[in-house]
Amino acid sequence: MSELLWAEKYRPETLDEVVNQKEIVERLKRFVAEKNIPHMLFAGPPGTGKTTIAHALAHDLYGKNYRQYMLELNASDERKIEVIRTKVKEFARSRVVGEVPFKIVLLDEADNMTSDAQQALRRLMELYSGSTRFILTANYPSKIIEPIQSRCAVFRFTSLKREDVVGRLSYICSQEKVACDEKALNVIYEISEGDMRRAINILQSAAALGEVNEDVVYKVVGLAHPKEVREMIQLALSGNFIEARKKLRDLMINYGLSGVDVIKQVHREIFNHEVKLPDEVKVMIADYAGEIQFRLVEGADDEIQLNAFLARLSLLGRKVKV
């Protein structure tokens, strides 16, 4: 297996290789054709291609040597006002000669920048708009001050579709000569929740153990198999509290799960199509799970709270006769 991270190795290099974000790509291709772009804000969930598309845009504008025309900073690390006043300003003020008369400053995770740094950036965007274009990426665009948002064309990214993620993972498996199960790839999609970077990293971790299947995927991400979680829920609802408690202890010991991990998986499995429960019961279990999760986050004991949760499920099962 290659030492290179697969998420970097298989990152699209040009806009033509990008999938899913079709409307955004079409708009950016027009900018490339015109050799001109505005300041831009890429907003959306992590792992949906914001940074990748910024690099692909620069590649299509400048060619393979695009990095000499581009300054990339991770604003979560270099987010202070001094960085904006020195490094960014020095890069932005110099002009370039060629078909594309401007350079690009990519500020990744710009929503982590301090307020003072954002105010300084706003001024630079005004002063050097002739020689430099700014591309900001943010998971939470509401944290970007309004003056910067008003200076940018906003592109909103959406989580990737199942077929796109599974298709890309299957392609990577074929390129890396890794045996993979299609069910396992679908499990990776569900765990990653449309985050392609996380999905590829999970695949690479699973591939290190040999053939990629469901059990291996759950093992590398540190989650219990859903079937076992569903068994625990059914035991509790059937009134068999002692066996449900034993199953809970096995899950926490065998998989090394915390109480929050368990309750999150329980919440996910409640609404799984394989769990045949009346809607009223699902609502009540979701209400219980929310209360227990809050207590766990506040610092309550994992085992005591989860035992209390199973006890309430047992009482609920007797009451509604699930």
Helices 182-192 & 162-175, crossing angle to 10 degrees? 130
pLDDT at 26: 93
Which residues are CB-contacts of 291 (< 8 A; sequence separation ≥ 6)? none
pLDDT at 3: 53
pLDDT at 79: 64
Bridge partners of residue 136, in order along the sequence: 41, 107
C-alpha of 74 from chain center = 17
pLDDT at 1: 43
Q: Give the strands of the sheet with 103-108, arranged side by side.
A: 70-74, 103-108, 132-138, 40-43, 153-156
Give me the half-sphere count of Cα atoms (radius 13 Å) on the Cβ side of residue 195.
Answer: 12
Domains of the chain: residue spans and CATH:
21-156 (3.40.50.300), 162-221 (1.10.8.60), 226-320 (1.20.272.10)
DSSP characters over 184-232: HHHHHHHHHTT-HHHHHHHHHHHHTTSSB-HHHHHHHHT---HHHHHHH
- The SS3 of residue 40 is strand
Torsion angle (degrees, nearest 10) of CA 318, 226, 163, 9:
150
pLDDT at 153: 94
How far are the Cα atoms of 97, 233, 235, 304, 311 from residue 242, in angstroms, in the given order? 75, 12, 9, 14, 9
pTM above 0.95, yes or no: no
Along the 322 residues of the chain, how does pLDDT read in single tens digits?
A: 445 688 888 888 899 988 888 899 999 999 999 989 999 999 999 989 999 999 999 999 999 989 889 998 886 666 677 777 788 888 888 888 778 889 999 999 888 888 888 888 888 888 888 889 999 999 999 999 999 999 999 999 988 889 989 999 999 999 999 999 889 999 999 898 888 999 999 999 999 888 899 889 988 888 888 889 999 999 999 989 999 999 999 888 888 888 998 999 999 888 876 767 888 888 999 999 999 999 999 999 999 999 999 999 999 988 776 5
For residue 65, the one-letter residue type is: N
pLDDT at 95: 80
Looking at residue 156, the DSSP 8-state letter turns out to be E
